[in-house]
Chains A and B, each alone.
Chain A
Amino acid sequence: MNMQTAITMTAAETALVDAYNAEIGELPGEGAVLSARDTLLADLKKQGLPTRRVESWHYTDLRALLRAVPAFDSTAFAEKVDPLVAGSSVLTVLNGKADAKGAPVGVNVRTYRESLLDGVAAADLIERDPEDAIGRINGSFVRDGFEIEVPEGTELEQPMELQLVQSAGQSHSRFPVTFGANTKATVIERHLSVSDAASLVTVVSDLILDDGADITWIILQQQGVSDSHLAQVNFDLGTNAKLRLFVINAGGKLVRQEVHGVTTGEGADFKLRGINLLGGETHTDVTFTLGHDVPNTTSTEVIRNVLFDRAKGVFQGQIRVAPGAQKTDAKMACNTLLLSDDADFSAKPELEIFADDVQCGHGATVIDINPTHLYYLRARGIPENKARAMLVNAFVDEIVEELEDESLIETLEAIIAAWLEKHA
């Protein structure tokens, strides 16, 4: 129906609007920032949260799934934890409040609150497209984060960890990050929860990689079993820029991680590696779009999903090759181990191709553990549960091993093993 009718707001929609009205005095920024927020909220009010009728939300009916939204909690307490990799410089966002003190030497960092206050942030607070519910919610409520600039030629020896620790309430952060030409860095975006209280966390990261930048960005999401996590990474790759993006989901109740990128310089190379460890009642959605906009760019995407219990998993991946983007080489794979009859998984790997001299492919599989593999291990005296855990571990470990940093590999392997032990 094209007719504009007022929607009946759900509890979550009402809670969001109420939270906005209650918090608007506290949210940083005036003038253009404030009016950008108002516009986004008005859109949210008008359209409501997306339902399955909105194509990019087909498998994650946010309107039905986001049942409740916790109020902002200014009394909640969270503290910094040890970094994933010893020696990393740590920038913390504790219950939505950022602290730029831990910035590595040679990198320019200021809190996003400052950009909101001086109005620089106003230009960021827009929707990517009419279906961008995450941009809409985050843009309405964003209160902090980091604006990071890694100057040309900088090479960071140690990882930089963006540590987001949540204990209750809501947190909405943004990370506009510019990697100058020929920079080299590893960034860990880490999401933790330190209580059982339900939280709503939204994050939008906008990464710009200038010519020749070589960046590894790792998202490790380990939120609590009642948390909602709505995240979006946008990136733009310049000439010969390289981005390796690792997404590991091992927590959260309702999780949507969006990854949207474009290659705007020839020779750009993108790698997406994903591990989704899904158990309990989680609904986890990884949605990815990549536009190969210029000739001679490459990308590979490999997503591995493991589902236990009543978990629901979604992967949507869309590779677009623009007219004239010849010699694009893009390959996408999504492999799923469905280990419970109550779990389900939906995949929509899409190709949209407007140039002829390209190599593009995608593959998707959904299977259970191969009984012959299991038999092989059991025949060697390994008990069934152990054998299953070994096979599942092998299935996801391939991805982790693509990282270069040994101590990072070990830490992630330990996290995965611990998770599997708990769920298998």
Chain B
Amino acid sequence: MAAVQETIDQVALIDVDQYKYGFETTIEMDKAPKGLSEEIIRFISAKKNEPDWMLEWRLEAYRRWLTLEEPTWARVNYPKIDFNEISFYAAPKSTPGPTSIDDVDPELLKVYEKLGIPLREQEILAGVKTSRIAVDAVFDSVSVVTTFKEELKKAGVIFMSISEAIREHPDLVKKYLGTVVPTTDNYYATLNSAVFTDGSFVFVPKGVRCPMELSTYFRINEKGTGQFERTLIIAEDSAYVSYLEGCTAPQRDENQLHAAVVELVALDDAEIKYSTVQNWYPGDKNGKGGIYNFVTKRGDCRGKNSKISWTQVETGSAITWKYPSCILRGDGSRGEFYSIAVSNGHQQIDSGTKMIHLGKNTSSRIVSKGIAAGVSQNTYRGQVSTHRKAENARNFTQCDSLLIGDKCGAHTVPYIEARNSSAQFEHEATTSKISEDQLFYCLQRGIPTEAAIALIVNGFVKEVIQELPMEFAVEAQKLIGISLEGSVG
């Protein structure tokens, strides 16, 4: 109940400005000229002191990208993106590579302070937070700081920005990068492979249970840029890691592109739990501005009895195009997808998952809750398929949509493909509005309409919220309240 109360308080506090992370910070930036060419890719690669093989990898992806066409199958509408108007690299000038927290530009630290992200280990240790989280903070194109690196190192866990990993652990990166999402995968993933600037790298060795939650906080700040991060997480045999991702951006009239790629590899008996609270700037109430969030996320349950679990709370972005997926390759592996997608104003969300059952005795579970308000469009698009040899594959899918107002749309597009008689697939979807009875019950008890809606919606999404780590669960609940602000008219 406390968390619900908090949501209500949060909603009550906000009056005019709904997006509280919309501030902009003036920091001297090092920016690549606009546009995309082989020179720009060489520039990015040089900026990052990358080895030659990495540059080659990027160039190959770029040449491939030139031959691809932008996908148009999703239920989203936006003017064509002019890739020559985007600057593909922007970094705060004052951060000369990896650094200790004391070298970081105080302006930058202020940003994270304002965002409520703990970057100073001592502060965290001092008991500001009850549990500890290691954070990698990515500001526009670069990682500015990664906390708790030393302590994680003792446990054998590698947690650093991917640029550092390319330099320090080239063998690991070479072995796994692009093996889940190949450079040829799709338009945006291929673009990302060519121009990715930073992101996180996590390696949890055999038998290690990562001692703390790992987290990356992405911030787009600079005008006229895009963010292209790449995250690679590897859990070796019997390892466990829980990883959180958060994102925000300033309030602006222009649309900015965020095209990330996330690859997860789980070996025998390993488990990766990946949680996202996506709160990019969604645009103003007239649909002006906002982030285009075109993301490819995929996990490969490569080993026996491995498990990958995706949990996402999607409240931000003008347009979301995102399908965190699991390839259930190892026998006995399991994939999970829990999602809350809230759209309001002019937001458009086309999101869902793919569960590809390749191994025997694999199972997957999908719980998706879509909430549409304002004039937004909210689509669940998902695929569940079994390979002919994937005996005893099981899937359970539930996707529910809630509509608030009669100007929005909620859509469900599942693809179910069974190729083996022992497969057992169950899929159900419902769409409804907030029940008048429930609302009346709350109003009668003196709860104002907006707070009552937040309360009912929180009940609707509880199943997913429960899958989030504690700290995120509270934040997510607050966010849902915020996103629905103004939806009652």
Contacts and interface: CB of A to CB of B under 8 A. Distances in A.
A358 to B, nearest CB: 6
A1 interface: yes
B9 interface: no
A367 B424 contact: yes
A358 B432 contact: yes
Interface in A118-143: none
B411 interface: yes
Nearest to A332: B429
A343 interface: yes
Given A341-B388, A366-B423, A351 B428 contact: no
B410 interface: yes
A348 B414 contact: yes
A362 B380 CA distance: 13
A366 B411 contact: no
A341 B420 contact: yes
A27 interface: no
Interface stretch (B26-34, B148-156, B255-263, B401-409): B401-409
A343 B424 CA distance: 14
A363 B408 contact: no
Nearest to B420: A341
Nearest to B413: A350
Interface in A368-384: 368
A357 interface: yes
A354 B409 contact: yes
A348 B411 contact: no
B421 A336 contact: no
A365 B421 contact: no
A307 to B, nearest CB: 8
A101 B424 CA distance: 51
B416 interface: yes
A360 B404 CA distance: 15
A256 to B, nearest CB: 18
Contacts of A208: none
Contacts of B56: none
Nearest to B406: A356
A43 B142 CA distance: 52
B406 A324 contact: yes
B429 A359 contact: no
B220 to A, nearest CB: 32
A163 interface: no
Interface string B285-303: 0000000000000000000
B431 A351 contact: yes
Nearest to B412: A351
Interface string A338-362: 1111111111111111111111111
B114 interface: no
Contacts of B85: none
Given A356-B433, A361-B429, A363-B428, A344 B417 contact: yes
Nearest to A347: B416
Contacts of A344: 388, 417-419
B130 interface: no
A350 B411 contact: yes
Contact of B409 (A345, A348, A353, A357): A353
Contacts of B415: 58, 346-348
A364 interface: yes
A344 B389 CA distance: 12
Interface in B408-451: 408-433
Contacts of A364: 414, 416, 425-428
Given A350-B412, A358-B431, A360-B431, A366 B406 contact: no
A366 B424 contact: yes
A34 to B, nearest CB: 36
A323 interface: yes
Contacts of B406: 323-324, 326, 354-357
A358 B414 contact: no
Contacts, number: 118
Nearest to B410: A353
Contact of B411 (A352, A356, A358): A352
Given A353-B403, A356-B403, A356-B404, A346 B430 contact: no
A344 B431 CA distance: 29
Contacts of A352: 409, 411
B428 A348 contact: no
Nearest to A321: B431
B87 to A, nearest CB: 29
A96 B407 CA distance: 48
Contacts of B388: 341-342, 344
A345 B418 contact: yes
A362 B419 CA distance: 21
Nearest to A333: B428
A343 B386 CA distance: 12
Nearest to A325: B406
B73 interface: yes
A406 interface: no
B404 A351 contact: no
A21 B427 CA distance: 48
Nearest to B430: A361
A55 interface: yes
Nearest to B409: A354
A289 to B, nearest CB: 13
Interface in A299-351: 323-324, 326, 336, 338-351
A362 to B, nearest CB: 5
Contacts of A353: 401, 403, 409-411, 431
B425 A351 contact: no
B102 interface: no
B52 interface: no
A55 B73 contact: yes
B399 to A, nearest CB: 9
A194 B430 CA distance: 45
B123 interface: no
Interface in A1-40: 1
A375 B8 CA distance: 53
A313 to B, nearest CB: 9
B431 A366 contact: no
B69 interface: yes
A363 B409 contact: no
Contacts of B424: 366-368
Given A349-B414, A350-B411, A353-B403, A343 B428 contact: no
A234 B428 CA distance: 27
Contacts of A351: 401, 410-412, 429, 431
Contacts of B404: 356
A343 B406 CA distance: 42
A338 B418 contact: yes
B380 to A, nearest CB: 9
A386 B388 CA distance: 27
Contacts of B429: 349, 351, 361-363
Contacts of B418: 336, 338, 344-346, 366
A287 B424 CA distance: 23
Interface of A: 1, 55, 58, 323-324, 326, 336, 338-368
Given A1-B69, A344-B417, A367-B425, 14 more contacts: A55-B73, A336-B418, A338-B418, A341-B422, A346-B415, A346-B416, A351-B431, A352-B409, A353-B403, A353-B410, A363-B426, A364-B416, A366-B425, A367-B423
10 contacts: A323-B406, A344-B388, A348-B414, A356-B404, A356-B406, A361-B429, A362-B412, A363-B428, A365-B427, A368-B423
Closest 10 CB pairs of A and B: A356-B403, A366-B418, A366-B425, A364-B427, A361-B430, A351-B412, A347-B416, A363-B428, A360-B431, A356-B433
